[in-house]
Structure 1
């Protein structure tokens, strides 16, 4: 198993931050990982699992061994009258996988089209968009314990899904708690796509598309196309402008807190939730504080969507992770001072 040295990480993070991995290994099969784990120094080697790098802010060179997950493969595990069970390797591109499922006639993931990253990273973040979260379609996953080397399988309950959260983002504090951050490498993920298919359309942007096109009963392919068009209109292409997608989580507040904000800012974008709380649009809060289009160093706020921070650097003056986090903290301070709400970043910061 080849371990590369001093590998530039700019191509492996969608923000395009310049940094290096002191050691870098490509994991294309379970055997690749096991060949590393039998090395005498494995137990003493710090490790960092890297997927598509689309939800990542790198603040300096990475000293840990970077395990770049490139496990491929897509297949239908089984089909029944109730639905389809579909599996993909952790290294598969998420959007390409969504498109492939529709090409096979297996709808259900269309609302999550064009989310950057890999299949293996999707459950870590519990990705979601336009009314559907990964946990709504998740069945199970396989992973390898990076300490014991054992292969294990987790269902949805064991993954501890929350809003942009899972057990893979938490470290076990003691023997009584369960956290897998830095402990596991996901190899394959399975999704349950139920029959009969039902469209999820209760989102403002999709409702606007229905009104614009006059299509009141879109099929899954139509929803897929709409979501792609919406995201491309709002979000920059990482291949053109480096970014990590939505940088902050949409905060949730009590109805009383929301009413207080509405009294001061009637145009605040908000969505009532099933549990009685109210979700606020973080992008609207940031925009209301005047950050859209502003820059700080070589990091900036996207002029079309305040929720997205972008790379304003170039080859001579590259954007650093430190600049990104300085901008993020300034935005958090502004939003807190005006609305009393603390915004929480979505990306992993390393």
Structure 2
């Protein structure tokens, strides 16, 4: 339960600027109410080490906050919130690729648009995804045929216990579908143990457009452009996403709320027998990815609500804040959708956002 609003205060202790009782509503794209008991803005890697070395904060639990675009807050946050605000974007050209280096606090879409403005193609399919650069590897963000793992060179990570920085190459990040070592808590997992401070992305030469997606193919047919350049693909992706997804600045949301479930070929055939129109995509290993939004829509959830939380009327995969929604209402709505989809299709939908 959220506590009554308390005016925030700021103080400096042992070289660290600590903000107390900070309203987190502006810092999560769902616009959910919650308070951070203590918050430290991380504007350079050294700030992380200062927190780790701090006599009081060093031993306290930490909560890393980027753009708040993959987050459902159901309560106040007692852990020390590390608000990632490290800036910077630069490009290094090599014979076989471009390396785009960005600070963890840079907005992801700004990194995509900024690299394109600097003459670097390769990230355009990931345009308009909300959140920060530092959060992108955690979730292994992906859209329209490209995932972060396809472009990651390496990341700088600071250990939240020792303050030591290491650079991790892509191959040790254990990427999966909307998953990575940074989300994992088991053996070798880094969830809660480290924070990403800098990301380097590899955009290969020569550039090859990724066009094998139905929405992009429709744009090609509509415009008659069969060989788009990177800027054209970027513009198409922005148009497609804006038509489907609500702007968090206008309607609170966390983007796609559920992962697209992956089923065996046998399961897919069984579902198609009962629902021939189900949207599905073949995977390289012979399995099939089902469109979670289609499953939710088929169960009649589009436009329905629980308190201030609702299913977006234009895209059933998106849950929105219709006004003064509470995190508990979002969770209740999500669980009802999960039970409904399971009851009809025998499939458990898995949420994408982190529930706190």
What's the TM-score bracket when you normalise by the shorter of the two chains?
A: over 0.9
Aligned twin of 2:79: 64
User: Which one of the candidate residues 13, 19, 28 is aligned to 1:4?
Assistant: 19
Structure 2 unaligned segments of length 5 or more: list them.
1-15
1:40 positional shift: 1.4
Aligned twin of 1:311: 321
* Pairing 1:84–2:94 present: no
1:46 positional shift: 1.0
1:45 positional shift: 0.5
1:193 positional shift: 0.4
User: Which one of the candidate residues 19, 35, 44 is aligned to 2:50?
Assistant: 35
Secondary structure in 2 aligned to 1:2?
strand
Secondary structure in 2 aligned to 1:121?
helix
Aligned twin of 2:350: 344
* Pairing 1:324–2:334 present: no
Structure 1 unaligned segments of length 5 or more: list them.
none
* Pairing 1:184–2:184 present: no
Aligned twin of 2:248: 238
Secondary structure in 1 aligned to 2:81?
strand
Q: 2-side partners of 1:149 and 1:99: how far apart? A: 32
Secondary structure in 2 aligned to 1:141?
strand
Residues 180-225 of structure 1, C-alpha deviations (whole Å, 9 max, x = no match): 1111111100001000100111111001111111111111111100
1:312 positional shift: 1.4
Aligned length: 341
1:104 positional shift: 1.1
Q: 2-side partners of 1:339 and 1:171: how far apart? A: 30
Instruction: Please provide the CA RMSD for this pair.
Output: 0.8
1:38 positional shift: 1.9
1:120 positional shift: 0.2
Aligned twin of 2:136: 122
User: Which one of the candidate residues 28, 38, 44 is aligned to 1:13?
Assistant: 28
Q: 2-side partners of 1:227 and 1:301: how far apart? A: 23
Secondary structure in 2 aligned to 1:198?
coil
Map 1:247-266 onto structure 2 (within 5 A).
247-266=257-276
Q: Scaled by the length of structure 1, what TM-score is found?
A: 0.96
Aligned twin of 2:126: 112
Contact kept in structure 1, 2:125 and 2:146, CA below 8 Å: yes
1:43 positional shift: 4.1
Map 1:162-241 onto structure 2 (within 5 A).
162-172=176-186, 177-241=187-251
